[in-house]
A and B are shown apart, each in its own frame.
Chain A
Amino acid sequence: MIKGIRKGNTMENTNEMTIEFDSRSCNEGFARVAVAAFCTQLNPTLEEVADIKTAVSEAITNSIIHGYENEVKKIRIECQVTEREMHITVIDHGRGIENVEKAMEPLYTTKPELNRSGMGFAFMEAFMDQVLVSSELGKGTEVHMKKTIGCIGGIFE
């Protein structure tokens, strides 16, 4: 163990990763796998990895379909691990959400004609410990998700 990377200094106990990619649907698979790979340093169970992949996939799909409405612009994902917590923020600069509360209701969708189920936010909330959405019309949307990974023995142990 390297001296100095010990609890007490919070900056040393975090690890961060940011990716930015075009809002094309073919990037969805890559992005969720990248986030899942980053979280493996916390020794997650397979189920926890699957939870994170599903939640990230939902957030990116929302940005592509609703945020940018299939225009090709940039989506940014910021990840941070602290001790046993995984923080993921998915950011787009699309049209924003008019009524966040309504959007987060299960089965509510503004695009039923595209075979959307309206379960995106419901799945994010089901699979992550916390989901916070901040959105401004015409400016974009930020979805912040947090999940505590159960297993002990991350890279900082």
Chain B
Amino acid sequence: MDEVLQVDGTCMTVFVPKELDHHNAEGIIREADRVLERENIHQIVFDFRDTEFMDSSGIGVIMGRYHNINLVGGYVSAVHVNERINKLLHLSGVYKLITISKEQGWSDKGNKKGEYYGKHQ
């Protein structure tokens, strides 16, 4: 399996797996929080390029990470968001807390998996 997390400077990218349910969420939360504790992270990017299924557990993952990083003044974004994921983000209200990009690349730079997305704003 590909790496789930990638840290680049103060930016952590979470490559969300194919299915993000309660079962998968637990592992991602554990891994992400471990990195957040040890490193100086200011931006979390959730990359949904491979994600075909998500339920409210995924919303919980995003909300929890938002809460953690908000304490240190950081921010959260979601990239490669498909229609389905976008619907869930809007239904749950999480879209108010994070920046959502449906584009294939976050910036001109980050288009392939593993590349740096670049800071937004």
Contact = CB atoms under 8 A, between A and B. Distances in A.
Nearest to B84: A50
Given A25-B23, A26-B23, A29-B23, A123 B88 contact: yes
Q: What bracket does the count of chain A residues touching chain B fall in?
A: 20 to 34
B63 A115 contact: yes
Interface residues of B, number: 22
Interface string B74-90: 00000000001000100
Interface string A118-135: 111011001000000000
Interface in A50-80: 50, 53-54, 57-58, 61, 64-65
A28 B22 contact: yes
Nearest to A113: B64
Determine the main DSSP class of B at the interface with A. helix
A117 B60 contact: yes
Interface stretch (B42-50, B51-59, B101-109, B110-118): B51-59
A126 B56 CA distance: 12
Contacts of B59: 117, 119
B98 interface: no
Contacts of B25: 115
A61 B84 contact: no
Given A54-B55, A57-B55, A123-B91, A65 B60 contact: no
B26 interface: yes
Interface of B: 19, 21-23, 25-26, 29, 53-57, 59-61, 63-64, 84, 88, 91-93
Given A117-B60, A119-B91, 15 more contacts: A25-B23, A32-B21, A54-B53, A54-B54, A57-B21, A57-B22, A57-B53, A58-B55, A61-B21, A61-B56, A116-B56, A116-B60, A117-B59, A119-B60, A123-B92
**5 A-B pairs closest in CB distance:** A25-B23, A119-B56, A117-B60, A117-B59, A115-B64
